[in-house]
Structure 1
Amino acid sequence: MLLDGINHIAIISKDVERLGNFYRKVFDATVGPTRDHGPGETMTNIGIGPATELNVFVISGNTEARNQTPMWGRGRIDHIGLAAASPTAFETIRARLIDAGAGDGQVNDFGTDLSMFFRDPDGLEGEVLIPKG
């Protein structure tokens, strides 16, 4: 295979501070500084894994972060799937998502993986997965 996973996912947010606090609290993510990225635009990197980050853009006048329609109607990227580092991490994340009011804690058995869904403060749907076994 020529690739080694995902480097980043670029998303648009209304409030990067709130979003960063959520990912830090629930996933132990690291939130980098916010910097200018063009006229009326900022970018903040949120590290969500050893080599993976969210590149979060806040763009003056852009309303795309509000567009959250039912699954499969949200555009080219419908949701993000995050890999838990271990079964213990999966359970820790599950408890934190419940505490944050971001998920109901339901664990889905998808055959080879266990999965749980959540919504971040901007309404983006996410999924945390752990291989079974």
Structure 2
Amino acid sequence: MPFPALNHVALTVRDLSVSAPWYRALIDADPVLDEHTETGFRHVVWQFDNGTLFGIHEHTRPMTDDRFTEFRSGLDHVGFGCADRAELEQWRSRLDALGIEHGAIVDAHYGSGLSFRDPDGIALELFAPSG
């Protein structure tokens, strides 16, 4: 039996009033879902053309003051796929236009990546495989 494809990613954020507009501008689309759940959190979810869902959650339970770091056990980063390096260059320009700080495009033998962070410091990457 083959392993199933990735269906969705959900990130916990500190403040949806900050993160939801930031992601909406980045994704350049309205979410398909924005609701308070009966289990104690609100989530805002986007659906990409390939069917993958990407959501951000704000829980009613208090958070610690720690910011995200990929050097703790758990999530390292979320990677979004691009067709090629030229598309990464377009994204670099878009991030600049949105005022989102980012690193340089890093090339490796397996592909190229462009890293940046969301308002909570969660590591995000745009990635294009080589070839």
Unaligned runs of 5+ residues in structure 1 are none
Q: How many residues align?
A: 131
Q: CA deviation at 1:124?
A: 0.7
| Larger strand percent | 1
Query: In the alignment, which residue of structure 2 is the partner of 1:76?
Result: 74
Unaligned runs of 5+ residues in structure 2 are none
Q: CA deviation at 1:94?
A: 1.4
Aligned-pair identity in percent equals 24
Distance 1:90 1:130 in 2: 7
Residue by residue, what CA displacement relative to the aligned partner does 1:9-64 show, whole Å, maximum 9, x if unpaired?
Answer: 12111222432332332233441232122254212212245221222211123315
Distance 1:65 1:88 in 2: 38
Query: In the alignment, which residue of structure 2 is the partner of 1:50?
Result: 50
Query: In the alignment, which residue of structure 2 is the partner of 1:116?
Result: 114
Query: In the alignment, which residue of structure 2 is the partner of 1:131?
Result: 129
Which of 71, 90, 94 aligns to 1:92? It is 90
Relative to 1, partners in 2 of residues 1:126 and 1:82: Cα closer, same or farther, differing over 3 Å? same
Relative to 1, partners in 2 of residues 1:93 and 1:83: Cα closer, same or farther, differing over 3 Å? same
8 A Cα contact 2:83 2:129, kept in partner: no
Relative to 1, partners in 2 of residues 1:19 and 1:65: Cα closer, same or farther, differing over 3 Å? farther
8 A Cα contact 1:116 1:127, kept in partner: yes
Query: In the alignment, which residue of structure 1 is the partner of 2:6?
Result: 6
Distance 1:64 1:128 in 2: 28
Deviates more, 1:29-38 or 1:4-13: 29-38
Distance 1:48 1:65 in 2: 31
TM-score where L is the length of structure 1: 0.78
> What RMSD over aligned residues (CA atoms) do the two structures have, in Å?
2.5
